[in-house]
Amino acid sequence: MSDLHERLRRLIAERAEPLGVPGVAVGVFHEGERFLTCHGVTSTANPLPVDETTLFAIGSVTKTVTATAVMRLVERGEIDLAAPVRRYIPELGLKDPEAAEHVTVLHLLNHTAGWEGDRVVDTGRDDGALAAYVATMAEFEQVMPLGAVVSYNNAALSLAGRVVEKVMGTTYEAAVKDLVLEPLGLTHSFFDVADIVTRRFVVGHGSKGQAGGATEVVGQWLMERCAAPAGGLFCGVGDLLDYGRFHLGDGDGVLEPETLRRMRRPSTAGTSTDGDVGISWFLRDAGGVRVAEHTGGTTVGVALLTLVPEHGLVLAVLANSIGAGAGELLEEVRALVLEGHLGAEPEPLVPANLAEEQLAELTGVYDRGEGHLLVMSADGDRVTVERRFSDELIARYRELMPDLEVPVQEPITLVPLAGDAFQQAGRPGKRPHGRFVRLDGKIVAVEWSGRVAPKIS
C-alpha cells in the first residue's frame, strides 16, 4: 500500500496542473489499510490547501446515498421497491398516464423510468422545493418506454427523494441525516449551504469554453435544492472513503449485509453502455473483477467512488474542475488503482467493421433534448457526429457562466464496436463511450454519457 500511496501522490502532483485541476483529494482503502492524499488548493482566486476534510461536491454519487436511505426504509417495511410510486405520492402526475400509474420505486433507482431526466426547474430553496419540482414532472416527455432502457435520470432520483420525504414526514436532507449520515458517523458531509460555508470548501474551475483558456473560477456554485437527492451532497474525501467502506462491510448495524449485496446486483433487464445497473450502483467487469461504481459532476467539480468487493478495495476521488482534464485525471487515477495495483486490465476494444448497410442503420438525427441535436452520418467504416445547439440552450449556460465562449463544434468521430457500442476517437478511456439502443431489433436511440437520445429521423 505504501508503494500505491506514493504512486498516487506522484501522479496527482504531476498531472493535476497540466489537466487544469487546481485541487484534488484521493482516498484508498485496501486490505484493512486506509490512506488519503491531497494536492492543490480550494480556489485559484482565494487559495487554501486542500485537506481530507475540505468539502467537495460529490455530485451524482449522492444518488447512492439516496438509495441507501431508501433501503433503510425498505428494511423497516416502510417502502417496497416493487410498489408503484403512487402508493407514497398519490398525487404524482406524469405526461404519460401509463408511466404515472405503473412506475415503481425501483425504476427510480436504476434509471429505467424513461422520461427526460435532465430538465432543470428551480423551485426555490424552501422546504417545499422537492414537492414543487415533482409537480412540474407532469410536463416531462416520456422518451423511452417505462422499464425498457437504462437512461440516466436525475429527475427520477429527485422523485425518489420526495418518496423519502413523504415516508419520513420531514425534508429529504433531514431524513438522509437521520437515516445515513449520522448513523455512519459522516461528520464532514452536508447539504445545507450554511453548514458548508462555515468550513473549508472548494469552488469549481473551468476554461469557460475558451480554446486554450486558463482555468478560472466558475461563478455558479449552488445546485437547485430540488436536485439534492440527485447530486447535492458535499463532503470531505475521508467521509466519502468511509461511506464506500460501509458499502463493502457488514452494514455496521445500519443495513443488513444482504441488502448491501443486493444493491450491487443487476436490477434491470437492460444494461447501460458500461455494464449492468444495480440499485443506484453501476456495475461492470474489469479484467474479470466485478466493480461497483458511481461518478459525479457539477459546476463545482467531479467525483468518483469505486468499490471492488472481491479485493475489499474502495477508491474515492474528488476534484474541483469541470473541464475535460478533470475527467482525464479521474481516468488516470482509476487506471493506476485498478490496472496498476490490482492488475484488473479491461479487455481490449475491437472495432466492429460494420458493412455499409449496418452503418446506415446508425445514421440520422438524435435529439438530446433542450435544443441539442446529434446529426450522424457514415464516414468510411466510422460515424461522424455534428452537434447542434439551440440559442436557448446556449443562453441557459451563459446564465451559469456569463463570459462563456461557445467554441466551434468540430465533428466527432465514433468507432463502432461489437454489440452496438462505440468509442469516441481521440477520447481517453479503455471502455466504450456509448452505444446505440435497439428495441425490437431496430435502432431507436443512442446512449451517450449515460443519457438516451431518441432517433427522430
Let me know if 60 is a catalytic residue.
Answer: yes
d(CA 238, CA 343): 25
Residue pair 340/7 in contact (Cβ under 8 Å)? The answer is: yes
Cross-strand pairs, 273: none
Q: Is the dihedral of CA 77, 81, 87, 90 positive or negative?
A: positive
Name 25's Cβ contacts closer than 8 Å, sequence gap at least 6: 36, 37, 38, 39, 50, 51, 52, 54, 56, 236, 237, 316, 317, 318, 319
Find cell 434509471 and name the residue: 111
Tell me if residue 381 falls in helix, strand or coil: coil
CA proximity to 147, closest of 111, 105, 117, 97:
111
d(CA 72, CA 236): 23
Tell me if residue 433 falls in helix, strand or coil: coil
CA proximity to 160, closest of 117, 123, 196, 221:
117
d(CA 201, CA 217): 13
Nearest-5° Cα angle at 423, 417 to 426: 140
List the catalytic residue out of 60, 151, 207, 321.
Answer: 60
User: Which residues are catalytic, by number?
Assistant: 60
